[in-house]
Each structure stands twice: as C-alpha cells, then as structure tokens.
Amino acid sequence: MICGPTAAGKSEIAFRLAQRVPATLIVADSRQIYRGFDIGTAKPTDAERAAVPHRGIDVAEPTERYSAAAWAADAHEWIDEGRLDGRVTLVVGGTGFYLRALFDPLFEEPNLDEARRRQLEHAFSSMSVTELKRWTAVLDPDRAHLGRTQLLRAIEVALLTGRRLSALHRERARPARHAARYLVVDPGPALADQIATRLEAMFAGGWVEEVKSLIAELPEDAPAWNATGYRSVRDYARGAIDLPQARQRVLIETRQYAKRQRTWLRHQLDERFVTRVNPRDPSCQAVVERWWRDATGRRA
C-alpha cells in the first residue's frame, strides 16, 4: 500500500514501480471513482492507464452513492483478478476510510431507505463541515472528528436507523481478508508548494470547462460534487465568485484535506508495518526498493 496526502507524489512512485514489477494499481481515492470528474481529481492520464492496469477509477456514476464498503468489496475482486493474471497488487491512494475498509475488519453496512436517505442528503448538503460536526457530536460523538462524507453518513445512519454507526461498526465487524505493508509518501513542508503548483496546472488544464459541462448534466446534490474543490469551481463557473476567490478557496480546501490525511496516516496505521519516504530526498528510490523487497521478497 502506497499512501500519503494529496499531491505528495505517491501516484508517481506507484506508477514507476508498477511498470517495473509488474503490478496492477488499485486506486484508493474516493474522488477518482466518479466518471467525468477527471481534472480536479488528478486522475492518471490515458497513457498511464494504458501502460499499467488501473482499478478503482471511473467505477461509479456521479449521482451514485459509492461507500467505502462497496469499494472494499470491489477491491477484493480486483486483487483476486490480479493474482490470476500473475500480477502483484499495489494499492495507492489517500482515502483513509477506504484503506480501513480494505485492511481492517470488514463491516456489514445497514440498509437505508434510499428515498429518505436522499431527502436527508439534500437537507444537509448546504451545511458547512462545522455544522455537520455539531450534529454528529450529538448523534454519534465517536465520528464527529471525521470529514464531510463520513459525517453525512453518520448522521444518515443515526437518523434513519436509530443506531450509531460507530456502534454498528463494533457489532458487525468481520475478520479482514488482507494485511498490508505501507509506504507513506510525504515531502514535508514542500507539500504546500506542490499543492499550489498542481492546482495551477488543473486550472490551466481545463478544470473550469470540465465543471461547466458537469453542471449541465448533473443535479446539485450529486455525491461527486463533494470532491475537494469542485463546489468552489462550480461557484466560479456560475459567476457567484471570481477566479482569484475560487483559486484561494480550493487551495485552502486542499491544504485542509491534506492536513486531515496526514493526521489519519499518523494515527491509524500500525507503525510496525510502515516505511516513510520523502520523494524529494535523493535516497527515495533506494527506500522504495528496500520497502518493496521487504514487503514482497522480490527485487524491484
């Protein structure tokens, strides 16, 4: 498992390694699962996807709710497919609750009435993360520290089932099918500049035009709009804010997202199975190769 905060450089390391091994890349990114949301989620290019098999990209419609449990169930199948093809599996991404769903004990999701769930989603869609945290602090305090998508899920489950999602996780856990060796990629203080540089490339690469086409096709409450930055770019495309405001908002959102990812990776992974690497360090390649050899018993 190659993980790290957004824009850290983990995808580049994983791609180079996957070419040499060879391996199948399973993308653990809750934003790249949605079709059409390409530029703002930094999906691999067509050339990269042709050179190395990728799974976990474009697997859901933007209007579809695709949970961590659903992703994990699909990931187990992709891992099995890779084994049949004689390829090693490399999971790469930064969505913590996807990693937990794959490598922690599995969880049987409660069935929710879809019509009522969408009504709740619409009612809460305009709320800020701070407001959602206040609701969750009352309904399911153990999950009140999480991000927007997880907060919404905790609220939905609590209101529609009368049970706390945190309690259901404890009661319905099943043994995990896989274990992982983690390579955590993080450039340290340089991450802030890397985020800003990638953001400029996204705007220059047609992100606004992509969002304008999505506006014409999708309802405002489509789950895919929750991807970092897309609501701010949508506001700009509609004329609600100007371009400098949009850029600044997306920059702040992305840096806050990276901070949450770093916190999760620091506290949720078993350090016995973690190797950390700075992609800007001259020793990076040697660290990656040593990690790979220790994890698989093979040379890269």
Can you tell me the mean pLDDT for 70-90?
Answer: 89
pTM, two decimal places:
0.79
Q: Which of 145 and 196 is assigned the larger pLDDT?
A: 196
Can you tell me the mean pLDDT for 139-164?
Answer: 91
The pLDDT value recorded for residue 111 is 79
Q: Which of 285 and 146 is assigned the larger pLDDT?
A: 285
- Chain centroid to Cα 270, Å, comes to 19
The pLDDT value recorded for residue 147 is 81
pLDDT higher than threshold 70 for residue 76? yes
The pLDDT value recorded for residue 174 is 62
Q: Which residue has the tokens 């703002």?
A: 40
**How high does pLDDT run on average in the chain?**
92
Mind giving me the DSSP string for 188-253?
A: GGGHHHHHHHHHHHHHHTTHHHHHHHHHHHS-TT-GGGGSTTHHHHHHHHTTSS-HHHHHHHHHHH
Spans of all domains in the chain: 2-106+175-296, 109-171
Q: pLDDT tens for residues 191-206?
A: 999 999 999 999 999 9
- Chain centroid to Cα 175, Å, comes to 23
135 band by pLDDT with thresholds 50, 70 and 90: very high
12 band by pLDDT with thresholds 50, 70 and 90: very high
Can you tell me the mean pLDDT for 96-115?
Answer: 79
Distances (CA, A) of 288 to 13, 170, 209, 248, 284: 8, 35, 37, 34, 6
The pLDDT value recorded for residue 45 is 94
Mapped onto helix, strand or coil, the DSSP state of residue 295 is helix
**Cα–Cα distance, 195 to 53 (Å, whole number):** 26
Q: pLDDT tens for residues 212-259?
A: 999 999 999 999 999 999 999 999 999 999 999 999 999 999 999 999
CATH topology of domain 109-171: Histone, subunit A (1.10.20)
What percentage of residues in the chain have a pLDDT greater than 70?
97
Fold match flag (2-106+175-296 vs 109-171): no
Can you tell me the mean pLDDT for 27-46?
Answer: 97
Q: Which of 109 and 253 is assigned the larger pLDDT?
A: 253
Q: What would the CATH number be for the domain defined by 2-106+175-296?
A: 3.40.50.300
The pLDDT value recorded for residue 178 is 72
pLDDT higher than threshold 90 for residue 170? no
Can you tell me the mean pLDDT for 58-66?
Answer: 94
Can you tell me the mean pLDDT for 91-107?
Answer: 83
